[in-house]
Chain A
Amino acid sequence: MAAKIEQTAIESFAKEVEEAGGGRAAECYQCGKCSAGCPVASFMDLLPHQVVRCVQLGMRDEVLRSATIWVCASCLTCTTRCPKEFEIAHLMDILREISVREGKVSVRQKDKLRFHRAFLRSVESHGRIFELGMIQNFKMRTAAKQALRDPRVLMQDAMMGKGMLFKRKLRFLPETIKGKKHVKRIFDRVRRLEKSKGKK
């Protein structure tokens, strides 16, 4: 009986991932080529092939709370080299999406999500990225923690910012586009559609 329940849990996670567009994890025969070529493997808690294994075994929380899915830099080396043509980088995208939806983002990796959000907020309000505003927005939310962790980083970012202003690489004001409201509407509609899909 216990084995049967477990079997259902295993299948349901792999199925959920597949239905969300993450591919058939069962395809993977664990050759490890993805992990061998991954340029950020040394920063990960689970190696890429272990992530796929966890999906096969229904180890939901281990994957969704892992640092790995946020350390992945989307370089696509794994997808390119997989002998089974399994799209591992895309699986990572799908896992990140589920992890955000369920509030399971690894605490140590939250800056990545904060940055993505600052980026998308900027696109949503201006239609294009307003770099200065986005960086300020991100820094305001993360500077205090970063100062505790690695104060040098703040100094270096400040130096880089100064250089960018000096070289006129940053605009002081956002550009406006005619389709600003159109872009905003796309964000609203995507949110609505995702919500209705999530309910199903």
Chain B
Amino acid sequence: MKVGYYPGCSVEGTAREFGISVRKSCELLGIELVDLDDWSCCGATAAHNTSHLLSVALPGRNLALAEQQGLDKLLAPCAACSNRLIAAHKEMTESDTLRSEIADLIEMPYSSSVKVLNYLELILNYGMENLASKVTRKLADFKVACYYGCLLVRPPKIVEFDDAENPQSMDRIVTALGAEAVDWEYKVECCGGGFTISDPKLVETLSHDVIENAEAEGANAIAVSCPLCHANLDMKQAAINARFHEKRKMPVFYVSELVALGCGATPEEAGINKHFVDSYALIR
């Protein structure tokens, strides 16, 4: 299986372990990733909160590049990137006026031939039985709260992926890896997203509630597939504890790390050493 790859800015930076584990897990599963040459930022929340045209033009450049480079499937592991790419693709597909406006802005044509995938969708397409057959290390001690957050499943009319209120794709993936997927209430609640730095109080309050519910429902780990979710739950966990006078230590994994671990990668190969909250205890 050959798939185009749009890493996105954070996956190459603060979410480095996401990138490391996406590449490692794909290597172990025999999925070949072809990097999108000369990709640029998708504009993320900053663009769509301030300029509609920019929020389509920035992802538009990358979609047009993918088309030019003959990539009909494009994996964008970051949930914000995949959401923006899919939204831009949809908007351009549905409106000829917008499509030609964007073509003028980016000086490139786009004929809507690219299918953008998030990481969960890629693994679902790979097949749960195929995945289970690759598992060499059962994640038997893991009781995972699968956290989807916002951008993977919303808005359903745009992303057309899984169920918007009670998604199951990540649950199925961790189950195939031998872990237990915990039933909990906060799987599609918001962590505060891109306000990590601009509104710490809001982010810490929302993220606190997510971690608290995961723990209350018996989880000993949280799995995510979004760099913003990981930053807010893992990197900010110390600040959350300080704000709420608590001492919780909940490890937060990218689902790709779990896939890599399950298929035999060492913790370092999966990027676990980059976590702020120590995450080694459950790995045998």
Contact = CB atoms under 8 A, between A and B. Distances in A.
B141 to A, nearest CB: 24
Contacts, number: 179
Nearest to B50: A116
Given A73-B190, A80-B154, A128 B47 contact: no
Nearest to B55: A93
Q: Is the contact region of chain A dominated by helix, strand, or loop, or is it mixed?
A: helix
Nearest to A120: B46
Interface in B21-40: 38-40
B206 A39 contact: yes
Interface residues of A, number: 64
Given A170-B13, A170-B14, A93 B48 contact: yes
B interface, by DSSP: helix, strand, loop or mixed?
Answer: helix
A120 to B, nearest CB: 5
A164 interface: yes
B51 interface: yes
B155 A76 contact: yes
B154 A73 contact: no
- Contact residue range for chain B? 35 or more
Contact of B150 (A20, A75, A97): A75
Given A96-B50, A135-B197, A186-B106, A168 B16 contact: yes
Contacts of A13: none
Contacts of B57: 186, 189-190
Contact of A123 (B40, B165, B189): B40
B135 interface: no
A36 interface: no
A119 B48 CA distance: 12
Contact of A100 (B50, B61, B164, B189): B50
A112 B54 contact: no
A156 B12 contact: no
Given A128-B40, A186-B57, 14 more contacts: A20-B52, A40-B192, A74-B193, A79-B154, A112-B198, A113-B50, A116-B46, A127-B40, A129-B41, A156-B238, A160-B236, A163-B276, A193-B53, A194-B53
